[in-house]
Amino acid sequence: MTDAPEYIPGLAGVPAARSSICLIDGSVGKLQYRGYPIEVLAERCSYEEVAYLLVFGRLPTTTQLDEFRNQMIAERGLKFRIIDLLKTLPESGEPMDALTAAVAAMGMFYKGDHISDPEFLRLSVIRLLAKVPTIVAAWDRIRKGDDPIKPSTELGHAANFLYMLEGKVPTSLAVKVFDVALILHAEHSMNASTFTARVTGSTLTDPYAVVASAIGSLAGPLHGGANEQVLSTLDGISDRSANGIRRWAEDRLARKEKVMGFGHRVYKVKDPRATILQGLATQLFAKFGSTPEYDVAVELETQMADLVGGKGIYPNVDFYSGIVYQKLGIPTDLFTPIFAISRVAGWLAHLLEQLEGNRIFRPTQIWVGEADRAFVSMDERS
């Protein structure tokens, strides 16, 4: 028997692909999509432009972007049977589960010849980018007993989603803030859900199954689900003085409990997306007033830096996103589905890259069980 390879829990630091989609240097908080700094993309682009960049690998010309936008607008609607499917689900269920179910079902309505057909792939990309927001908004309406709102053919991607929630055209500041939030969440290299997408894609299954599996992975509290828990964490701090917040953090750390919205496998400084989201929060507050959660968050960030900054534990993207979404009037349990609305672009970019030089994922394992055991018949077992 050859020597067993080293086991690396969580595959930390093990390269799973060669990629040119997202560059991160966690030691200095650097994040780039296709080589463009996130700060520039957040300031200068729309989500549609960034999605095009991620999926096709280059910034679009005006004509290319118009065509891409129009194709997405044409694909925003849902088949009535997908809406019927959502209506059969329990209204108390998790929105991420409803989204997984509806996206998986899409594969039955949009069957292609094969994933190797470029036209089928291109159409699948457009459909998934366009319809995932519609599913999330439709589910939110259906569970409340309301009819889904038909997507607009006039509004941009971010504005249309906010419009489909309540039927009101959002303010330009709300649209800008939400659009940037979508850009910031669109891609982040080999995180759990993206790895899931690549593994599923490597089997040459259809893109709807790829995205459905990635959504399931994103739902967990250690990944996308953390953004929903940050607000309840902040609300759970009863003494909101600096001393009270410090004591709360010390108690939590002493019990070895994680503080949601802090820490990252890759970043050992403040996540650059958290910095941008914090800036967006202050823009919203300047216009619409601050929230108690924000003040607690800022103090908690200060105290945590003092307590665990030395271990490289700083706010991640989820720390300020919930505060921003709350101010936009979005229900807390839609925060993770909104992450999925945005991350679809990254998952699809990785699927296309995976297919370029595909080899099915098949890692190995380290056997720790007993081998060659003598079978025990039922009447002799204790």
Residues that bind ligand ACO (CB under 6 A): 10, 222-224, 226, 253, 258-265, 308, 311, 313, 316-318
- Report the nearest approach of ligand ACO to the CB of residue 262 (Å): 4
- Report the nearest approach of ligand ACO to the CB of residue 302 (Å): 15
CA 42, CA 40: separation in Å to the nearest integer?
5
Nearest to 121 by CA among 130, 110, 132, 131: 110
Phi/psi of residue 326, nearest 5 degrees: -60, -40
CA 194, CA 58: separation in Å to the nearest integer?
20
Cβ-based neighbour number of residue 58 at 10 Å: 9
Identify whether the C-beta of residue 275 lies closer than 8 Å to the C-beta of residue 33: no
CA 356, CA 379: separation in Å to the nearest integer?
55
Residue nearest to ligand ACO (CB): 263
- Cβ nearer to ligand ACO, comparing 149 with 349: 349
Nearest to 95 by CA among 157, 144, 164, 151: 144
Tokens describing residue 284 = 């919203």
The amino acid sitting at 146 is: D
Return the active site residues. Answer: 264, 318
- Report the nearest approach of ligand ACO to the CB of residue 361 (Å): 21
- Report the nearest approach of ligand ACO to the CB of residue 224 (Å): 6
- Report the nearest approach of ligand ACO to the CB of residue 140 (Å): 22
CA 102, CA 337: separation in Å to the nearest integer?
12
- Report the nearest approach of ligand ACO to the CB of residue 271 (Å): 7
Cβ-based neighbour number of residue 138 at 10 Å: 25
CA 124, CA 207: separation in Å to the nearest integer?
7
- Per the DSSP assignment, residues forming a β-bridge with 24 are 31
CA 232, CA 227: separation in Å to the nearest integer?
10
